[in-house]
Structure 1
């Protein structure tokens, strides 16, 4: 009889959910977790999730609208049932882009960015935290914020406000969930060149802005963000909670640089 080999890697046997899994950072995180031995559920809107291609064939796809409270709860319950528990959440679903000058910012745009980027993150984290508490083994919650969680940017008030909220939400979770053995941390990427997502870094103007604003002179790569997520999910980060790992090539360290987050 053929015996299936035990999973190997820093996340061997761990059960993980990644939201926003169809995006560049999400796809890279799903693939990195799977390479490290985790069982992974990928969540995103139905159309982009169906089109997403992951390196591993064993990834479970569950379509979910992150702004829909009932959908988040049902999708998390389905994921936990299929995984047999939950150890890790990477909450990465987000809308990106500007909304024009503040005086022209409409209610609908404000609501849309807050609903997806902040409320959607809250809903995913709350559902995951409840599953982790019920499981009684602790867990890791990793939010994907942005350098715009603490650096502003012209004509992006709704996005910046939502990402700032994610930073404080993560700290609040770290405090409240510590007694359950659940660690909560945020990753704050700067500009990330997401191949195939029309980021525009091939345009001379934006490419020049990145060179000027980032100390390393280039945008980051999705795999570089995923590497940090693996670290925060594995055992070596067991005394890190309520913290932020900034992955911006030195953007936020520059006095006059840095106002285009991921």
Structure 2
């Protein structure tokens, strides 16, 4: 993939904020947006931003702990000041995994709600207020999951918060439409990100994916970045309150594919 920014790219002249920018999907979104000419504020819990191809005047890194309200508010103010009012927000930060419903403690539940749902709410609300004040519209993209509308074992708090993001996205789309702000969600399915290690190459899981995913394989973070790019660019003028499911056909089948 070309690592040089395109001066006439699809996001040239745009300012974007990406939360969860050190993650597989957030990192891919950040890199693609940079390549398409945007200035990007990359926000994450801390440490080096994985997957980012370069440093330079187009990108600013801001550390944020979405579970901490005071820290989040300060980090978002820093992000908003970096390049001015953003045109785009991609809210990709999230805790992964989870526990069985019977084993999920109050602390487990609270930690996932704090980051995945409340953290997304805070980031989106603060950026939306800046967009409204600037009166130039904008694009907000949340990162949900196929778990926003279908569950899996041992992930009670994760799927509950992702379901909440789906409805929060719709609520934002309705309330922000009159301000020219379009709000949509990406729902990734099985995506091969660095944090998964070699999970998808484990023989049993690989065989399961071959049967349960129409395309027979996991997706890549770049597939999610492509969806985010469409939702973020000016050419998207009438899609709001919607979900792009990036799951290789997983949710299109009742049972495994006949192979």
Q: Which residue of 1 aligns with 2:78?
A: 78
Q: Which residue of 2 aligns with 1:40?
A: 40
**CA distance in structure 2 between the partners assigned to 1:110 and 1:103 by the alignment:** 12
Is residue 147–residue 163 contact of structure 2 (8 Å, CA) maintained in 1? yes
Q: Which residue of 2 aligns with 1:170?
A: 169
TM-score (norm 1): 0.91
| 68-77 or 237-246, larger mean C-alpha shift | 68-77
Matched residue SS, 1:21? coil
Is residue 17–residue 79 contact of structure 2 (8 Å, CA) maintained in 1? yes
Q: Which residue of 2 aligns with 1:111?
A: 110
Matched residue SS, 2:186? strand
Label 1:97 to 1:6 Cα distance change in 2 as closer, same or farther (>3 A): closer
Matched residue SS, 1:235? coil
TM-score (norm 2): 0.92
What is the Cα deviation at residue 195 of structure 1?
3.2
What is the Cα deviation at residue 156 of structure 1?
1.1
Is residue 13–residue 37 contact of structure 2 (8 Å, CA) maintained in 1? yes
Q: Which residue of 1 aligns with 2:217?
A: 218
**CA distance in structure 2 between the partners assigned to 1:66 and 1:246 by the alignment:** 25
Q: Which residue of 2 aligns with 1:252?
A: 251
Label 1:95 to 1:79 Cα distance change in 2 as closer, same or farther (>3 A): same
Is residue 72–residue 127 contact of structure 1 (8 Å, CA) maintained in 2? no
**CA distance in structure 1 between the partners assigned to 2:155 and 2:167 by the alignment:** 19
Q: Which residue of 2 aligns with 1:54?
A: 52
Q: Which residue of 2 aligns with 1:159?
A: 158
Q: Which residue of 2 aligns with 1:66?
A: 66
Q: Which residue of 2 aligns with 1:130?
A: 129
Label 1:26 to 1:257 Cα distance change in 2 as closer, same or farther (>3 A): farther
Where does structure 2 lack aligned partners over 5 or more consecutive residues?
none
Q: Which residue of 1 aligns with 2:142?
A: 143
Label 1:62 to 1:221 Cα distance change in 2 as closer, same or farther (>3 A): same
What is the Cα deviation at residue 257 of structure 1?
5.0
For the aligned residue pairs, the C-alpha RMSD in angstroms reads: 1.7
The list of structure 1 runs, each at least 4 consecutive aligned residues, that deviate by more than 4 angstroms after superposition, is none
Is residue 28–residue 223 contact of structure 1 (8 Å, CA) maintained in 2? yes
Label 1:112 to 1:257 Cα distance change in 2 as closer, same or farther (>3 A): farther
Q: Where do residues 171-210 of structure 1 align in structure 2 (5 Å cutoff)?
A: 171-195=170-194, 197-198=196-197, 200-210=199-209
What is the Cα deviation at residue 197 of structure 1?
4.3
What is the Cα deviation at residue 13 of structure 1?
0.6
What is the Cα deviation at residue 202 of structure 1?
1.8
- Superposed CA deviations along residues 19-43 of structure 1, whole A, max 9, x for unmatched, are 0000111111001001111000100
Q: Where do residues 10-25 of structure 1 align in structure 2 (5 Å cutoff)?
A: 10-25=10-25
- Superposed CA deviations along residues 205-227 of structure 1, whole A, max 9, x for unmatched, are 22222212211000000001000
Matched residue SS, 1:140? strand
